[in-house]
Structure 1
Amino acid sequence: MDSAPLSQLEQRLIGHIQILYPHLDAGEFTRTCLSTFGLDPKTESPQPHRNIWDQSDTMLITYADTLRTDDEAPLTTLHKFVKTELAQCISTVHLLPFFPYSSDDGFSVMDYTSVKPSVGRWSDVSTLSTDFKVMGDLVINHCSSRSMWFENFKAGVEPGASYFYEASPNTDISNVVRPRTSPLLREVQTKAGVKHVWCTFSHDQVDLNFENPTVLLEFLSIIKLYLEKGIRWFRLDAVAFLWKTPGTPCINLPNTHEMIRLLRLMIEHYAPDAVIITETNIPNRENLTYFGNANEAHLIYNFSLPPLLINTLVTGSCDHLKNWLMRMPPAQQGTTYLNFVASHDGVGLRPTEGLLSEWELDNLINTMKRFGGKVSSRTTPSGEAKPYEINISLWDALSGSVSKGPDQWQFARFMCAAGIQLALEGLPAFYIHSLFGTENDHERVDNTGQFRSINRHIWNMDDLEHRLNTPTHHQKVFNAIRELIQIRRGQTAFHPNATQYVLHTGDKLFAFWRQSLDRRQSLFAIYNISDEPQTFNLAELNLIATDDWWDLITDNRYEDRMAHITLMPYQFLWLANKKGKKK
């Protein structure tokens, strides 16, 4: 009797496995993968090119323990705060790694299957997922040198003995691209003698060996656990470095893209509403490749936005931001950009390559240092140390200008950045400290010895609530950003996939046009990105004569199509022909 015909899922999975693991029996390993993942081979494929988001979606990025109170698990505290204060603004909560870890504030994972006891339990994550979509980190490139897997590696027993990428000290690593200055190979004493393991980031973060199919099976089991606990959005951390081939740059290799396609195939068949986001802090052209053909990441981080937007607002010229945006391709249906200006990491500088000159980059770096920032470096393949990221809170980064230093426009400049982030094509993601206008935490840097700690402040809830309920800049920022998000949620022209065209309005006015997918709402977003008043004529915008036009921010109506409009420093308009309801 002939065997049953292969399902579409099996056929597609076999195709990926044959590329990644040509030495395996692809059919047998496919069955093992599906069994490990608990997936019926006959599961129907989700409809392609679906937008699993709309203009009501905004993400919050936070550590599980950023908000702390006595006698309560931080995950519980966070859930209460987001549900009480942000339910009308936030749809998705990105929980940065909440697992037991040994360093790097969670990104040196010791155990992928448990929640760090000091922040809560799995039930807290599941409860949060009943009120919000939850994104979890899949720290897939490396794990902690203090993990059970690495202890087993040293002892020569499984699971772990074959889980890590090894190389000889004589291996050609001259072309390897890395984000750090530490030596790539770490010497380790094992039961079988001295071995050298690959450490892209730090010697406490040992790279996993995905050439071993058992490592893939381990991660399929981990992903299944996360899905069972309510996580539907997956951030693939540092995934660009996943596959290694000595003699190459060991970044963005074809097998890395193939692995992402395999993981997406499995995840979206298990949960059709699941979303894959790749974290690839690399030059813009390389970053765009992680969309694949709408079959890899659903979303990619818009890594060039933070440095270009900050540079725009401190220099008073939008030329680079405008030129970059004009060259950005519209995302295909079913994919979009994740627009952020601040995160738990620093402001990445590799995404400015080819966009800012060395002189302009030096000018930006020196300005951020004047505002209290730090600079982290990486080693190039030639051995040269180059700036990799600026470590600074967004509030302090926007405290002044290149030419004049700190000034009175800090709040206006900060809100201008939020206004641009919220209006651009894509889905906005706010780091929790951007909602509060948190300042540089130099004390935390001193305590940890890590520059990134400058933007990883821990808030005591009593202190935070006091500041949010009294006349402070924290209260002002928090209320203003929530108001903007609620306005955005009602505008179909702000759908992440709505049409966008950049306008030519000079270097002091940054402007673009958005149009809803059904073409019913047109919206012009116009920003004065300088510290001087700027005037423009409404006739420049070619407003549809038969429509009424309102500024969604002030609710002012504009009837005179020839009117001259003056925007004060960092003021902006969201000029629309139809007013969606604030939500």
Structure 2
Amino acid sequence: MAVKNQVQLITYPDSMGGNLKILNNVLLKYFSDVFKGGVHILPPFPSSGDRGFAPLTYLMIEPEFGTWEDIKDIGENFDILVDLMVNHISGKSIYFQDFLKKGIKSEYSDLFITLDKIWEDGKPVKEDIEKMSLRRTVPYSTFKIEETGEDEKVWTTFGKTSPSEQIDLDVKSDKVKQLLKDFFVNFSKHNVKIVRLDAVGYVIKRLGTSCFFVEPDVYDFLDWIKKLADSMKIELLPEVHSHYSTQYKLAEHGFWIYDFILPYTILETLINKSSEKLCEYLKVRPARQFTMLDCHDGIPVKPDMDGLIDTKEARKLVDLTLKRGSNLSLILSEEDKSEDGFDVHQIRGSYYSLLECDDDAYLAARAIQFFAPGIPQVYYVGLLAGKNDVENVKKTGEGREINRHNFSLEEIEQSVKKEVVQRLLKLIRFRNEYPAFNGKFKVIHTDEDKIRLYWHKDDIYCTLFIDLKTNKSVIEYIDESGKIAQYLI
């Protein structure tokens, strides 16, 4: 199965109407000819936190969202992409609950990484931990085993609670490999066509390293899981937030990668009215990428943009986004911060709000995204030109909720009627249907305050022209009668 070179939607199972059945109805009613590339359904599985990203199992769908049959039904008309948190599973899962009861006597104990698998005596060494790329102050949690009353330390890369809710899996274990096989068999049975490997950069733990994207071990795991996915005609999309050179290594290994550089670069281009950095980047980036502007987290800054941004300039841009209502996710590890202390991990806010709800600027951003080689994904809030949900941030205390608004059916209906959304839908249809996007791409040299991107195939072509002074965008293309036509976005 090949990934379709057409636009995909990213949505939570409950963020467009409330559940999967309603999501299917919404897709068929409003977007049946829009998301020909498929739908990325953010984790619809039973989960103990992190809005689905701490799954208990992948063999069930959270009953509040629906059933596997609902997923299968959506898959009748749209290729489905789901996440597999390949690095960890929920502490509330049957596997870890059994381990909490019986400790190493549990039949599932080998799924997890007790510290004796890392340090012979099971005692963590401070010097080793200081070399690691940390997502928490220490990469393990202490749990009390019910039957023995003894404490057991287990590896937990992620998690905001103490002890963590997200328990790392030991990918070297045969039991974990069997579990992953079971999950893939189930995905295949229910029309899943693409699996995003979430947090795959953290799966290898080796002393003396950062325990992030440990080479060459990580490729051994990726090759194993790719063979598994290939046998079921499922495509893989590894998700790695890191310096762009890491992404490029994955691309060299034949994997699809995420273009985490594009969202910030497009924002910077539109705010600073300069296309220089964007055009240079578009000339050299790998083509086999999934592109996005917005997602359930935020716009990647560090470490994704390391070496590509001047931190003084980045600080100005970040300050401007804060004035426009965004909030920030910050780097925890001191050694991962810039020398001058710059520590912005992600800018969180709706892309539409970040561009001051300027329709032309927003459509220009989407046009650049759609013309960049790769598979474009549009996040549901961006699809509906949603604004920052500040109320939800106040209510939950979670900064990411600023861009995770749940739309009711009434709100969807109202949003679809908005001019900016109608213009976006027209642009998506053009991107899906115009044959030149399956040809060759070129950046055409132009003035710094303009952008000109070009696709051609056989005797047809389309050119995107953007005037950054006005944010007006025009596509010139060869129409069906062979004449030159213009489309004002």
TM-score (norm: length of structure 1):
0.75
The equivalences for 1:37-186 within 5 A come to 52-54=3-5, 57-68=6-17, 74-91=19-36, 92-155=38-101, 156=103, 157-167=105-115, 168-170=123-125, 172-178=128-134, 180-186=135-141
- The unaligned stretches of length 5 or more in structure 2 are 116-122
Tell me which moved more, 199-208 or 304-313.
199-208
Match of 2:192 among 217, 231, 236: 231
Contact 2:295 2:379 survives alignment (8 Å): yes
Q: Name the residue aligned to 2:472.
A: 571
> Sequence identity of aligned pairs in percent?
23
Q: Which residue of 1 aligns with 2:217?
A: 255
Could you give the per-residue CA deviations for residues 246-274 of structure 1, whole angstroms, max 9, x where no partner exists? 22011122222221222221222222xx3
Question: AA paired with 2:7?
Answer: T
Offset of residue 199 of structure 1:
2.1
Contact 2:113 2:155 in 1 (8 A): yes
1:348 is the counterpart of 2:303: no
1:491 is matched with 434
CA distance in 1, matches of 2:440, 2:223: 27
Larger radius of gyration between Structure 1 and Structure 2:
1
Is the 2:360–2:473 contact (alpha carbons within 8 Å) kept by the matching residues of 1? no
Alpha-carbon distance in 1 for matches of 2:420, 2:50: 29
| Preserved contact between residue 424 and residue 494 of structure 1 (Cα < 8 Å) | no
Counterpart of 1:430 in 2: which secondary structure? strand
Q: Could you tell me which residue of structure 1 aligns to residue 118 of structure 2? A: none
Residues in 2 aligned to 1:199 and 1:61: alpha-carbon distance in whole angstroms: 27
Q: Is the 8 A contact 2:7 2:431 kept in 1?
A: no
Q: Which residue of 381, 386, 407 corresponds with 1:433?
A: 381
Tell me which residue corresponds to 1:318.
Answer: 275
Displacement after TM superposition at 1:577 (Å):
3.8
Give the conservation status (yes or no) of the 8 Å contact 2:443–2:452: yes
- How far did residue 117 of structure 1 move? 0.7
Q: Specify the SS of the correspondent of 1:289.
A: helix
Cα 1:580–1:277, aligned 2, differ >3 Å: closer, same or farther? farther
- Do the aligned residues in 1 keep the contact of 2:157 with 2:167 (CA within 8 Å)? yes
Equivalent residues of 1:504, 1:511 under 8 A apart: yes
Deviations 1:432-469 (A, max 9, x none): 11111111111211222211111110111123323434
Provide the C-alpha distance between the structure 2 equivalents of 1:212 and 1:580, rounded to a whole number of angstroms: 60
> Aligned to 1:309, which of 249, 258, 266?
266
Query: How far is 1:521 from its partner?
Result: 2.1
Contact 1:346–1:389 under 8 Å retained in 2: yes
* Separation (CA, whole Å) in 2 of partners of 1:463 and 1:484: 22
CA distance in structure 1 between the aligned counterparts of 2:252 and 2:175, rounded to whole angstroms? 25
Q: Residue 293 of structure 2 aligns to which amino acid in structure 1?
A: V
- 1:322 is displaced (CA, Å) by 1.7
Pair 1:413 & 2:328 matched:
no
Q: 2:415 touches 2:421 (CA, 8 Å); kept in 1?
A: no
CA-to-aligned-CA distance 1:78-124 (integer Å, 9 cap, x gap): 00111111111112011000011111100011122111011111110
User: What letter corresponds to residue 217 of structure 1 in structure 2?
Assistant: Q
Structure 1 residues not aligned, in runs of 5+: 1-49, 400-408, 470-474, 533-568
Structure-1 residue corresponding to 2:183: 222
Q: Determine the structure 2 residue equivalent to 1:391.
A: 348
- For 1:464 and 1:491, the matched residues in 2 are separated by 27
Post-superposition offset of 1:429:
0.6
Give the aligned residue type for 1:234. V
Q: Distance in 2 between matches of 1:479 and 1:420?
A: 18
- Residue 358 (structure 1) shift: 0.6
Contact residue 2 and residue 235 of structure 2 kept, 8 A: no
**Partners in 1 of 2:242 and 2:390 — Cα distance?**
27
Give 1:458's aligned residue. 406
Q: Look up the SS of the partner of 2:110 in the other structure.
A: coil
Answering whether residue 394 of structure 2 is matched by residue 446 of structure 1, we say: yes
C-alpha distance in 1 between matches for 2:352 and 2:481:
30
Q: Counterpart of 1:263 in structure 2: which amino acid?
A: I
Q: Match of 2:277, as an amino acid? A: H
Structure 1 residues 358 and 579 mapped into 2: Cα distance closer, same or farther (>3 Å)? farther
- What is the Cα deviation at residue 183 of structure 1? 3.2
Within 5 Å, which residues of 2 pair with 1:231-380?
Answer: 231-253=192-214, 254-271=216-233, 274-294=234-254, 297=255, 299-329=256-286, 331=287, 336-349=288-301, 350-380=303-333
Flag as ranges the 4+ runs of structure 1 deviating above 6 A. Answer: none
TM, length-normalised to structure 2: 0.89
Q: 1:258 to 1:383 in 2, by over 3 A?
A: closer
Paired position in structure 1 for 2:119? none
